[in-house]
Copies of this chain bind each other. A is one copy, B any other.
Amino acid sequence: MQRSEARQGPVEQRLARTADPALADRRRRQIMDAAIACFRRRGFHQATMQEICAEAGISAGALYRYFSSKAEIIGAIAEDRRGEGDVAFLRAAEKHGFIEAMCFAAQNFVQKFADGDGPLIADIMGEVLRDDAIAKVLRLSDIRSIAIFAAAVRAAQDRGEIDATLEPETAANTLFAIVEGIGLRRAFQGETDAEAAIAQFRVVAERYLNPRVRS
């Protein structure tokens, strides 16, 4: 977080050329794990770089060899967690229908709020919305996820399971928006009942996706 510059340059910011890529990977993981622990304990903004360094057992200078800012750490964490849900969704989509799999994915997402990760997700959202560099990275993960879900929409349409007139990409995007909106709102309201959240989502999803008998 450069204090007084516009920070507009290319996202190139490749960090220290490292001789041993394995070490670099190890260090990044080590730092991310330490950061997760600290963020869980005290939240993104309360947690201190010094704390993260202590938890990771390295110095501040060393940390900045592998991450160019505090924001980049949470960005890396977010990117890392993305896609985990995608594979789970794909598996579920094969076994049960699309809607069931979608509810499962929603469950997956909202559940994290109910567990300890609520504030962390919130912090990630906040940081993503305010940091262009992070946003740029996460948009790539997002595009990949959307593509996966859109493909599943197409398959479900072919099976006659959901409305065939929906544009797959738009449908996937909309479903994501609904899940995130519900998760966000419940976090805001301090609700932690994941069951109720899924029930709420299921009604919207079913009505949105169901093949119509009349428009």
Contact = CB atoms under 8 A, between A and B. Distances in A.
A213 interface: yes
Contact of A182 (B45, B123, B174): B174
A15 interface: no
B208 A204 contact: yes
A184 B184 contact: yes
Interface stretch (A50-58, A80-88, A126-134, A151-159): A126-134
Contact of A185 (B123, B173, B188): B173
A102 to B, nearest CB: 14
Interface string A105-139: 00000000000000100110111111000010011
Nearest to A196: B170
Central interface residue in A127, A135, A174, by most chain B CB within 10 Å: A174
B119 A123 contact: no
Number of copies: 2
A98 to B, nearest CB: 16
A178 interface: yes
Contact of A125 (B43, B129, B139, B177): B129
Interface in A173-212: 173-174, 176-182, 184-185, 187-190, 200, 203-204, 207-208, 210
A69 to B, nearest CB: 13
A174 B142 CA distance: 23
Nearest to A165: B203
Contacts of A91: none
